[in-house]
Amino acid sequence: MRPELIIHSAGPGVSVQDLGRPGQISIGLSRGGAADRRALFEAAALLGQPAPLAALEMAGMGGSFEVTTPTRIALTGAPMEARLDGAALAWHASHLLQPGQRLTISGVRAGSYGYLSVAGGLRTEPVMGSRSTHLVAGLGAALESGMTLPLGEDPAPDRPARSLPVADRFSGGTLRYIHGPQTGYFSGETVARFDSAKLIRSATGNRQGVKLETETGPFPPELSGGLASDFIQEGDIQMTGAGLPFVLLCECQTIGGYPRIGTVLPCDLPRIAQAPPGALLRFQAVDLAEADQIMRSDAREIDALAGQTTHLIRDPRLMHDLLSYQLISGVTAGRELEEE
Amino acid sequence: MSLQDALRLGSVDPDHVQILPFGLDGVLVRFAVTAEPWATQAAQAFHDYARSADLPFICERAPSLSSVLLRFDPAQITREAAAARIESLLDAHDWRKATPRAPERLWTIPVAFGGAHGPDLEAAAELAGMRPEAAIAEITGLELRVLAIGFAPGQPYLGLLPEAWNLPRMEQINPQVPKGAIALAVRQLVLFANPSPTGWRQIGRTAFAPFRPEAEPAVPLRAGDALRLSAVSGDEMTALLDRGDPAGGALCESVT
């Protein structure tokens, strides 16, 4: 049997994503890839992959899935309600899926983008060096019910389920940013006001970017008329004509005309991508030396993820079939609640 | 200006070429904050110059309308060292007098002007102070250059047109121009790669597809290419569009 993922149903924002297509700004193509890249590194750590492989990104809603061969999966990113044949599954964890079992993933409990990774990776046809769907560029398409995706074979389906402690990045918070080529277009007063502002993630947002709202704005530039359009990248905080901030994400355009007050650090992009509508956000300017330091320590953190995974302990409260276990008969080694 | 000052964040100094940090792994060489013709010429020329220079630590390079982006590999070089090397390249010329090198390739791209394929031609011509026929003759007589590729994949900014075409963007945004729309503003033309809202005036349409993900290369145009628009009738364009060939009747000649 060929390893495949059967999609019985899928929400409207389910797509294949890997780390995208870097280095293409000269042809006008933004990197794309997972909106929360860290979630793919977490999945790789849980599944023992040397580097992240293509996975399903689920914006807000998941779907119903089945595999054709035994394969481990990892559930990472925005926590979602997940069940295997009706039994609740832990998030930020890996699990074994057997053919015939039904995995259902419903809405997010926090955050915006959840990820379903499989141990052998999704093996759809790469285009321009990546399997990522980039809807703005017309690469790939959102997935639909009834589709079947090819998978790589799980090299070690017997490897025990793992879990990973994950700090909350799914409910807004502080975003560190650096000033950039256009920060000088804004007055010092406006920049200071921006740095102390409480901003709210609005209901408007997608993989191209998210619009923010504030009661203390707007933040208009001093210099705006006649400015040349110039390069723009994910993380840039652009001010629209009305002076409202819009943070660009992975599928953004590559040249833009609106002035940018700065750029969010790459390691804080998952936090802005995941912030659900209504989440409170603040921006904290850091200087370049500090930003370099933060990025080095983030790289070390990503490298260390695999070492932080632990055996997944099943929570008896989540075991709907608890009474079917023989818990008190005879002498036990006390490991029945571990999923091995 | 010292390098320290050059890398000073957020400084706006319209009288000097600036070397500015762009994210954590990029350096932006900005010749001017507005798309002045000399700055557009300088960006083209410096991009050419940087391409032929020995910069093994640079992993990405692209021109925009008045700046050049150089992305470095932080594993190989620090931002300061990259900026110092770039500054020494900048010191080699007076970029205010620089002209881009001769193009290597000349494209000829069929375009239908006016009518259903270019609904804003008459308004644009009137703003430029000429009749639509004269506007078409002037624009098709120009050898344009691909100044930058961006916004959307493959999408070229073409120019610069004569000063008469320094038209502002429209007050009302056009909610959607079709793929292949040729739109005009601020002495430039954009060839839209995808259906898009725009404040630019749509004067024509082409069947040439600037982004072909299944082809190699996916983007046929390169910054610096020369390009001429050749006028065809509305019916001829409709036939070219119906044929669905991404080349759209375009020719590419080597001119070196």
Averaged pLDDT for residues B146-160: 95
DSSP chain B: --HHHHT-TT---TTS-EEEE-TTSEEEEES-SB--HHHHHHHHHHHHHHHHS--TTEEEEEE-SSEEEEEE-TTT--HHHHHHHHHHHHTTS-GGG--PPPPSEEEEEEEEESGGG-TTHHHHHHHHTS-HHHHHHHHHT--EEEEEE-SSTTPEEEEPPPGGG-PPPPSSPEEEEPTTEEEEETTEEEE-SS-EEESSEEEEE----S--TTSSSS----TT-EEEEEEE-HHHHHHHHHHT-TTTT-EEEE--
Rounded to 5 degrees, what are φ and ψ at A21? -120, 85
Q: Which residue has the higher pLDDT, B159 or A325?
A: B159
Confidence of residue B168 (pLDDT cuts 50, 70, 90): confident
Where exactly are the structural domains of chain B?
3-97, 105-254
DSSP state of A329: S
Are the beta carbons of A228 and B34 separated by less than 8 Å?
Answer: yes
Rounded to two decimals, the ipTM of the complex is: 0.90
Query: What does the pLDDT look like over B128-139, one tens digit per residue?
Result: 999 999 999 999
Delineate the domains of chain A, giving CATH numbers in brackets: 4-164 (no CATH), 173-301 (2.40.100.10)
Go through A77-113 and write b for each residue having 16 or more CB atoms within 10 A of its CB, e for each that does not.
Answer: bbbbebbbeeeebbbbbbbbbeeeeebbbbebebbbb
| A286: closest chain B residue by CA | B9
Query: What does the pLDDT look like over B66-88, one tens digit per residue?
Result: 999 999 999 999 999 999 999 99
Residue of B60, B66, B211 with shortest CB distance to A228: B66
Note the pTM of the prediction, 2 decimals. Answer: 0.91
- Rounded to the nearest 5 degrees, what angle is found at the Cα of A28, between the Cα atoms of A22 and A31? 25
Q: Rounded to an integer, what distance in angstroms lies between the CA atom of residue A77 and that of residue A170?
A: 8
Partners of B28 on chain A (C-beta within 8 Å) are 181, 230-231
Nearest C-alpha neighbor of A245 from the set A265, A264, A223, A230: A264
The CATH number assigned to the domain with range B3-97 reads 3.30.1360.40
Token pair listed for A229: 């359009």
- Taking chain A (340 residues) in runs of 10, the rounded mean pLDDT of each run is 96 96 96 98 97 97 97 98 96 97 97 98 96 93 92 96 97 97 94 95 95 90 81 95 91 92 98 97 96 95 95 68 52 46
Do A14 and A57 contact (CB within 8 A), yes or no? yes
| A191: closest chain B residue by CA | B10
- pLDDT value at residue A328: 52
Are the beta carbons of B79 and A29 separated by less than 8 Å?
Answer: no
3-state secondary structure of A231: strand
Partners of A256 on chain B (C-beta within 8 Å) are 151
- pLDDT value at residue A336: 43
Q: Does residue B10 surpass a pLDDT of 50?
A: no
User: Residue A234 to residues A62, A248, B218: CA-CA distances in angstroms?
Assistant: 25, 5, 22
Integer distance in angstroms from the first to the last C-alpha of chain B? 38
Are the beta carbons of A181 and B69 separated by less than 8 Å?
Answer: no
Q: Rounded to an integer, what distance in angstroms lies between the CA atom of residue A40 and that of residue A272?
A: 16
| B20: closest chain A residue by CA | A181
- pLDDT value at residue A339: 42
Do A166 and A42 contact (CB within 8 A), yes or no? yes
DSSP state of A48: T
- Rounded to the nearest 5 degrees, what angle is found at the Cα of B101, between the Cα atoms of B35 and B204? 55
Averaged pLDDT for residues B229-238: 98
Q: Rounded to an integer, what distance in angstroms lies between the CA atom of residue A112 and that of residue A78?
A: 6
Kindly give the pairing relationship between strand A55-59 and strand A93-97. unpaired
- pLDDT value at residue B15: 62
Spell out the CATH class of B105-254: mainly beta
